[in-house]
Amino acid sequence: MKPIIGIDINEIIRGRWQKFDQCYVSEYGLDGVIEPFDTFDFRNHYKFYDKVETINFLNEELPDNISPIEYQVNPETGEAPVDAFAFKKETQNISADLAYKKFLYEDYVFEIFGAAPLLYKNVDLDFEKFYKMYMNKYDIRVISRENFLSIPATLFFLSKIRSRYMNYHFFEDNETIWSVMDCIITTDPELIKSKPEGKKVIKFIRQWNEQLSGDMNVTSIVDIIENKDFDKLFEVQE
């Protein structure tokens, strides 16, 4: 059986952090950004606060005799006369954690997961070269840790990069993905630290994982192509 290798797309193919940072600054400004700016831990390096939100719920018991004029929006206020009785207003307490999740998985989910840039120009072509070179020797798959709300946007991102991989795995926890993969190529410090005995991890060196060590440490996929140390990782399995 071929060794199964998972390529984590975040900060290797997809520049998710770059887009997250751009969206955060656009929404909240620079004051909430905590150094270092080059980070993997969004929750703890960007400030989110407890807040109260007012939400409008549609009143399903509207009368049938509302004049069409009542629906005309006032260009100065952005409201229509019908709004006063068409909607019920409720306030909700939003915790900082929930505000973060709403920002990431609702308000900017497409921008961060779907419209994020490639990490560098032609990175997708480098990975295609890697795949073609090793596809007969290894079972190479694309992986990503996702919330179910982010999967459609991630699929859109993958559709744009000329991806030729046959298998894709989206997962919510590290234990699940490690139960499937023999080796993971990643920058994620949590994935690196959670590697089970007998598995392999190829670490792409980034500022946020400098203190961790992988079975192989590189800066890009180009460093793996035609690298004899890469094949040596699997000699026991072969």
In tens, the pLDDT along 64-114 reads 777 777 778 888 877 777 776 677 778 889 999 999 999 999 999 999 999
- Let me know whether 123 and 161 are in one domain: yes
Using the predicted structure, report yes or no on whether residue 46 has a pLDDT greater than 70.
yes
Task: Give this prediction's pTM.
Answer: 0.82
- Asked whether residue 112 is assigned to any structural domain, the reply reads no
Surface-to-core class of residue 49, CB atoms within 10 Å of its CB (0-12 exposed, 13-18 middle, 19+ buried): exposed
Q: What is the CATH number of the domain that holds 164?
A: 3.40.50.1000
- Asked whether residue 185 is assigned to any structural domain, the reply reads yes
Q: What's the structural domain count of the chain?
A: 2
- Let me know whether 128 and 211 are in one domain: yes
Tell me which of 58 and 211 has the higher pLDDT: 211
Which segments of the chain does DSSP mark as H helices, in order? Answer: 16-28, 42-45, 83-86, 96-102, 109, 123-134, 151-160, 174-178, 189-193, 228-232
Pairing status of strand 200-204 against strand 216-218: parallel
Pairing status of strand 4-8 against strand 183-186: parallel
At residue 147 the predicted structure's pLDDT band, cuts being 50, 70 and 90, is very high
- Let me know whether 126 and 223 are in one domain: yes
Q: Structural domain of residue 69, as residue ranges?
A: 51-94
- Asked whether residue 227 is assigned to any structural domain, the reply reads yes
Spatial separation of the C-alpha atoms in residues 115 and 153, rounded to whole Å: 8
- Asked whether residue 72 is assigned to any structural domain, the reply reads yes
- Let me know whether 201 and 143 are in one domain: yes
Overall average pLDDT of the 123-134 stretch: 93
From 60, 94, 128, give the residue that closes a domain: 94
